[in-house]
Structure 1
Amino acid sequence: MSGDGDHEVVTRAERVIAGRYLLHDVLGSGGMGTVWHAHDQLLDRPVAAKELHILTNGDEDHRVRVRRAVREARAVARVPHPHVVGVHDLVESEDRLWIVMELVEGPSLAHRITEAGPLTPQQTAAAGLQLIDALDAVHAVGTLHRDVKPANVLLRRDGSAVLTDFGIAALDDGEFLTTTGELIGSVEFMAPERVTGAEVGPASDLWSLGATLATVCGGQSPFRRPGAPATMHAVVYEEPAVSERLGPLRPVVEALLRKSPSERPSAATVRSALRGVVAGGPDAGVMPSATVREFRPAAPLADANTITGSRTWLAPAGDSVPAGRHSTSSEPPQPQGRSRRPARPKLLWWALAGTAVLAAGVAGALVLTGTLPLKERPKTETTRQVAQSTAGWQPVTGVSVQRGDRITVQFVSGEWTSNYRKLPMAGPAGYDADTDSWQDGVKACKVKGAAPFAALLARLVGDQNFPVHAVGRRLTFRATGNATLQLGINDTAGVCSQDNRGTLTVQVSVTRQP
């Protein structure tokens, strides 16, 4: 077993720890410890012994690290799962803590892609299914992994994945197990909320899973930059550089890598989408977040003491709203029978109810007589469009635009570059300020000077001049005249676009008020 994908074998004099475990060779070493190939002499079986790089005695900092290590072992031991590494023992020897685990005789995902290249989307999705099952089991016992990455996923001889190295996992019991300000883990695989010090949860591990899937399928981390500060900035503020190799896996990864935890999909949604990829189905399209707004119509008036008004609340996708809850606020439902306001006299409620019925009857009569026409609902046309980086302005087909229409352009997938020889691939927001400055010498090639190179642009073309908009991941605006919607890259077509590469897929919706 190795926690970092480093398989260089280092031989040292054999020794026994805790009077039981005979150490052989070093399998790997990382920031939290060194993993040894060992033999359990009592039970006569091979094991992996992780020598933690913390002493069992010393100052308060050392004692905090010891408590963290003990919780790591206990947390993992509580998760008997085929895709979570098994923990056998926790011992103290040579003034250090050792965690004895099952020996997984296989490479890490990091080592696998280094040696043999990226996995296919189907292979990646199959591994993702195993890992999301493992994370479900981990989260079910109140534990977070906090360091999901390719180096911490081992492959058994049968090819199945095993989640390992819970070196920075912590039980969610409110105790801070890290030194204040200490940032532990691999930055390019950390969720944005971890980097900024905000509250973390299961969605943080799912974000790291998304970065892991993008890396093992695309061949490189979507947020890796030359230095740690730049990588942290990319994780928090920039769109992921997702390779076109992901194919049908792209929507799943992009959904997992949303900046806000509340916008990421649930584990169940991800599992369903991954199964579709494994089965060779089409991509999942834009995936919903883990919370959805539920609405239930108000129950008939029964008693003033049971009336709580009309409220909505957010529930996990797939969950039903308890009977009798009918809301428009984001607060969770209160127990039935409890009123937020003092009960008003029943006479007043019945008067209000009677007035409402009378008003409804009058309105119905006006509709039937033609005095008050029924109001038509807004009509929406939706289409998908692939924007080419080399084609200049491209008209959006499948929708028509009239004055007053509300137009929404939403990024779906893809990446492109305005200079494949010098610049990396970019998403719809284009390049960050530092990367954009590399092209200062050819600023004249920009279509919209205020936007960075490779930004996705939209404009209306008609009888009058309309402004050019930078789309980013999503843009909504009103049409000020009848026109044709066009999309393009922020790089003038012609000589300037000869070194462009890639495409973006967007969804365009046009809503017309009657």
Structure 2
Amino acid sequence: MASGHGDHPSATRPGSGAERLIADRYLLHDVLGRGGMGTVWRAHDRLLDRPVAAKELHILTHGDDEHLVRMRRAVREARAVARVPHPHVIGVYDLVESEDRLWIVMELVDGPSLAHHVARSGPLTPQHTAVLGLQVLDALEAVHAAGTLHRDVKPANVLLRRDGRAVLTDFGIAALDDGEFLTSTGQLVGSLEFMAPERVTGSQTGPASDLWSLGATLATVCGGESPFRRPGGPATLHAVAYDEPVLSERLGPLLPVVEALLRKSPQERPSAAGARAALRRVAAGEADAGPLPSATVRVPRPSSALADSETVTSGHGQLVGAGEAVPTARDAASGRPSPARSSGSAVRRRLGWALAGTMVAAGVVAGLFFTGVLPPEKETGPRTTTVGQVVRSANGWQPVAGAVVRRGDQVTVRFVSGQWTADHRNMPMTGPAGYDAATDRLLDGAKSCKVKPTAPFGALLAVLAGDKDFPVHTVGKELTFKATGNGTLKLGMNDAAGSCSDDNKGTLTVQVRITRQG
């Protein structure tokens, strides 16, 4: 670890032979490593006669408000780790005050960090990486279940025991889910190249942020280099927020799951269960990670009277309640019930369907419900289907899965979130409306690349493939139309696929609603 406090009087160099006793109990030997928040010492617990690691926090137990905030954060670190007993989470034994400083006494892991191991021995194989990835993933799930985020998952914070098992450590910037925010406004705490995009942009963070950092860690230890490291901090932050990861071919079968974990939008990343299913296949030596999760789109609950009768389809023939999370391929791959199936509101709604018929019919429907299958409802009135879709900037026209349109259907395409650019080297990010007139003129030399000449570059477009009378429409934030024929709804960016879109970056998430008369 790099040290910003190497000149501190108490920072004895390794091998110097100097020993100190803190709290009349812990005898310090040599320095194991240094980080931004503290120095870790090899020590001995004289009361229990066992080796330990003592982390000396670089904060005083008294001082100004900033020192007090850092001290409180340190206490939270100790509490966070101590309440997560897990074989792959560092054990915390004690928290003491000595020499006007806080010390966290922890389990001594007598082995190198994953970063040091790779630096010494070279990149890991995909299979070995997947094995360690599963162990860190188990640790993160335990941490998240305790209401804690790690927020600094990286190779240097994964230690290796003598038997090769991974241990997640250094919770120095962990945030407990107790409503208290200790980081100063605008202050970024953590390692830039392993920091999730939503942290860089100041958006809301959650467990998916730690999974992104896990993906960056796996890519680094297997590929041999960080996928987002650039010369200088600002360039690295820009790469994390906007650039696609630079991934080595060494990742092999690990590549698809790493790509999924490194998606910019937290909603598009696989869940822990989905990541585990893919990593298990790679760890077992299989040639591919299996079916990967598609984007999970949170569909807002409509405020109209149709809310109670509206259904959402995931594109796999599975119905979920409006306002629930759309289940993805990861749920099927992992065998874990999708969020929709475990939702109390969905259960109550379906149970109501079951009780609506005769007692015999109710028994049949209930049986189907508990096996995960529901019989089709008789269409006696308007029926609305809502699907979520991630539209990628470089993929040309993309069919909306599950959005089969018939003549007379009312279709609404609504922008939900995301940004993209028609030239990531020279042009800013934009939303579904595309560039303003002045910015669009900067690309006049590439006018022939426009799919819809009258719309700006970057505009979200829609077409009903199969209906020859349907023109290309600009979606903007929302587009509603009545279908004049049957077809497949396709969405894309106003920049023709192929050589024109090679330098496009980013995605948009949209919601598509199709209302059909019974």
What TM-score results when the alignment is normalised by the length of structure 1?
Answer: 0.62
Secondary structure of the residue aligned to 2:244 is coil
- Report the AA paired with residue 57 of structure 1: H
Taking a change above 3 Å as real, the CA distance of residues 309 and 242 of structure 1, as seen in their structure-2 partners, is same
State which of 189, 195, 208 in structure 2 corresponds to 1:203.
Answer: 208
Taking a change above 3 Å as real, the CA distance of residues 359 and 322 of structure 1, as seen in their structure-2 partners, is closer
Match of 2:471 in 1: none
Match of 1:344 in 2: none
Question: Does 1:312 find its partner at 2:322?
Answer: yes
Aligned equivalents of 2:283, 2:449: Cα separation in 1: 35
Q: Equivalent residues in 2 for 1:449-488 (5 A)? A: none
Match of 1:192 in 2: 197
State which of 423, 432, 444 in structure 1 corresponds to 2:425.
Answer: 432
Question: What is the CA-CA distance between 1:9 and the residue it aligns to?
Answer: 3.4
Aligned equivalents of 1:325, 1:63: Cα separation in 2: 44
Match of 1:437 in 2: none
Match of 2:254 in 1: 249
Aligned equivalents of 1:171, 1:34: Cα separation in 2: 23
Question: What is the CA-CA distance between 1:319 and the residue it aligns to?
Answer: 3.2
State which of 107, 118, 125 in structure 2 corresponds to 1:120.
Answer: 125
Question: What is the CA-CA distance between 1:487 and the residue it aligns to?
Answer: 7.7
Q: 1:153·1:163 contact (CA, 8 Å) conserved in 2? A: yes
Question: What is the CA-CA distance between 1:290 and the residue it aligns to?
Answer: 5.1
Aligned equivalents of 1:194, 1:323: Cα separation in 2: 29
Aligned equivalents of 1:459, 1:285: Cα separation in 2: 34
Question: What is the CA-CA distance between 1:321 and the residue it aligns to?
Answer: 3.5
Aligned equivalents of 2:202, 2:146: Cα separation in 1: 23
Aligned equivalents of 2:462, 2:296: Cα separation in 1: 23
Question: What is the CA-CA distance between 1:176 and the residue it aligns to?
Answer: 1.2
Aligned equivalents of 2:276, 2:182: Cα separation in 1: 31
Question: What is the CA-CA distance between 1:170 and the residue it aligns to?
Answer: 1.6
Aligned equivalents of 2:309, 2:465: Cα separation in 1: 38
Taking a change above 3 Å as real, the CA distance of residues 489 and 121 of structure 1, as seen in their structure-2 partners, is farther
- Report the AA paired with residue 197 of structure 1: G
Paired positions, count = 370
Match of 1:62 in 2: 67
Taking a change above 3 Å as real, the CA distance of residues 110 and 490 of structure 1, as seen in their structure-2 partners, is farther
Q: 1:51·1:98 contact (CA, 8 Å) conserved in 2? A: yes
Q: 2:254·2:288 contact (CA, 8 Å) conserved in 1? A: no
- Report the AA paired with residue 282 of structure 1: D
Match of 1:93 in 2: 98
Q: Which runs of 5+ in 1 are unaligned?
A: 296-303, 337-356, 362-386, 388-395, 397-404, 411-427, 435-448, 461-465, 493-514
State which of 169, 175, 180 in structure 1 corresponds to 2:180.
Answer: 175
Question: What is the CA-CA distance between 1:198 and the residue it aligns to?
Answer: 1.5
Question: What is the CA-CA distance between 1:458 and the residue it aligns to?
Answer: 10
- Report the AA paired with residue 96 of structure 2: V
Query: Residues 28-65 of structure 1: CA distance to partner in whole angstroms, max 9, x if unpaired?
Result: 00101000010111111111000010110001111111
Aligned equivalents of 1:176, 1:58: Cα separation in 2: 20
Aligned equivalents of 2:142, 2:53: Cα separation in 1: 22
What percent identity do the matched residue pairs reach? 64
Question: What is the CA-CA distance between 1:433 and the residue it aligns to?
Answer: 3.6
Aligned equivalents of 1:46, 1:326: Cα separation in 2: 53
Aligned equivalents of 1:49, 1:429: Cα separation in 2: 52
- Report the AA paired with residue 232 of structure 2: G
Aligned-residue RMSD, C-alpha: 4.4
Aligned equivalents of 1:282, 1:247: Cα separation in 2: 8
State which of 12, 18, 24 in structure 2 corresponds to 1:19.
Answer: 24
Taking a change above 3 Å as real, the CA distance of residues 407 and 15 of structure 1, as seen in their structure-2 partners, is closer
Taking a change above 3 Å as real, the CA distance of residues 358 and 195 of structure 1, as seen in their structure-2 partners, is closer
- Report the AA paired with residue 164 of structure 1: T
Taking a change above 3 Å as real, the CA distance of residues 112 and 273 of structure 1, as seen in their structure-2 partners, is same
Match of 2:35 in 1: 30
Aligned equivalents of 1:407, 1:294: Cα separation in 2: 23
- Report the AA paired with residue 9 of structure 1: P
Match of 2:288 in 1: 282
Question: What is the CA-CA distance between 1:265 and the residue it aligns to?
Answer: 0.8
- Report the AA paired with residue 288 of structure 1: S
Q: 1:409·1:475 contact (CA, 8 Å) conserved in 2? A: no
Question: What is the CA-CA distance between 1:281 and the residue it aligns to?
Answer: 3.8
Question: What is the CA-CA distance between 1:287 and the residue it aligns to?
Answer: 2.2
Query: Residues 117-172 of structure 1: CA distance to partner in whole angstroms, max 9, x if unpaired?
Result: 11111111100000000000000110110100000000101000000000101211
Secondary structure of the residue aligned to 1:313 is coil
Aligned equivalents of 2:270, 2:191: Cα separation in 1: 23
Aligned equivalents of 1:358, 1:118: Cα separation in 2: 58
Query: Residues 430-458 of structure 1: CA distance to partner in whole angstroms, max 9, x if unpaired?
Result: 86349xxxxxxxxxxxxxx9699xxxx99
Aligned equivalents of 1:271, 1:241: Cα separation in 2: 23
Q: 1:210·1:257 contact (CA, 8 Å) conserved in 2? A: yes
State which of 130, 136, 140 in structure 1 corresponds to 2:145.
Answer: 140
Question: Does 1:217 find its partner at 2:206?
Answer: no
Aligned equivalents of 2:178, 2:25: Cα separation in 1: 33
Aligned equivalents of 1:491, 1:207: Cα separation in 2: 26
Match of 1:438 in 2: none
Aligned equivalents of 1:358, 1:432: Cα separation in 2: 53
Q: Which runs of 5+ in 2 are unaligned?
A: 7-12, 311-320, 332-337, 353-376, 382-393, 402-420, 428-441, 469-495, 503-518
Match of 1:270 in 2: 275
State which of 135, 140, 149 in structure 2 corresponds to 1:130.
Answer: 135
Aligned equivalents of 1:62, 1:321: Cα separation in 2: 47
Aligned equivalents of 1:245, 1:476: Cα separation in 2: 38
Aligned equivalents of 1:200, 1:233: Cα separation in 2: 18
Secondary structure of the residue aligned to 2:324 is strand
